[in-house]
Structure 1
Amino acid sequence: MPAHASPPSARVVRVTVWHDGDCPLCAREIALMRCLDRRGAIAFVDVTEPAAVCPRSRSELLARFHAREEGPRGSGPMLSGAAAFAAMWRAIPLLRPLGLLARNAVVLGLLERLYLRFLVVRPRLQHWLGGGQARA
């Protein structure tokens, strides 16, 4: 192996995702994404952990889904909502076509509107899945 090459076991992080580890709905979704992320391209950060490194306030990161893609020139901008989901999907081969489709402004706008509707019902879903522990 060349001196500059990474060992095969090295995990190359291409996307960082900040999520609510106390949300039962989020925990299920992140568990699924971890299973689908067989290449280890996503770093999942539970913002409810005291030691978590958060680039924004915890309340902001808990209110909406956030992600940041890594590019050849370093970290890209912080994404939230549907754009953050699309970034995560692009890192997973099975979901990559949907993530690429979301690069279209019309598609992303539709996904964002759906995400905003989801945020309205999220507390009720959390309550239902978590047995009464809803977060605003």
Structure 2
Amino acid sequence: MTPPATPTSQGRPDKPALTVLYDGACPLCRREIGVYRRLDALAPGATVCYADISDAAVPVPPGATRDHLLARFHVQDRDGVLLSGAQAFLALWRHLPGWRWLALLGRVPGAVWVMERSYRLFLRVRPRLQRWAARLD
């Protein structure tokens, strides 16, 4: 999947630094992405775009499947590298004003391992949390 092009000041298209691939059908995901979008909107020259991969019209990156992408949080960088789980969150946080300090935690030895294991535990309870969040909508 090639992220949508955005015009630059020179008039040529430029890829966003990061494309967030999220599950727009998930009430938890929609809320979280809403927070990220509001933060990203505060940054001049925002470099993150958001792609709702629950929408069948949105193309998926080469070599990935929609089901695989919907099962975990993913981002794709400008070079097409697909990151998942804790690595994806850290990459996104590096681009969000006010959250960059959190991305620095990934540099602490063992932090990424702990974050990934915590995220995997979250994924186990995600279906129950989704049902709860859907009731709030």
Give the structure-2-normalised TM-score.
Answer: 0.80
The answer as to whether partners of 1:11 and 1:41 remain within 8 angstroms in 2 is: no
CA distance in 2, matches of 1:114, 1:29: 17
Deviations 1:85-127 (A, max 9, x none): 1111011121112113214451111110110110011000001
1:59 aligns with 2:67: yes
Q: Which amino acid aligns with 2:51?
A: V
Structure 2 CA distance, aligned partners of 1:95 and 1:12? 22
Aligned position for 2:131: 127
Aligned residues: CA RMSD: 2.2
TM-score, length of structure 1 as denominator length: 0.81
Aligned residue pairs, count: 123
The CA distance in 1 between the partners of 2:24 and 2:85, in whole Å, is: 17
**Pairwise mapping of residues 13-24 of structure 1 onto structure 2 (< 5 A)?**
13-24=16-27
The 4+ residue runs of structure 1 with deviation greater than 2 A are none
Q: Which runs of 5+ in 2 are unaligned?
A: 1-7
> What is the percentage of aligned positions where both structures have the same residue?
43
Distance 1:109 1:20 in 2: 24
Give yes or no for the alignment of 1:7 onto 2:9: yes
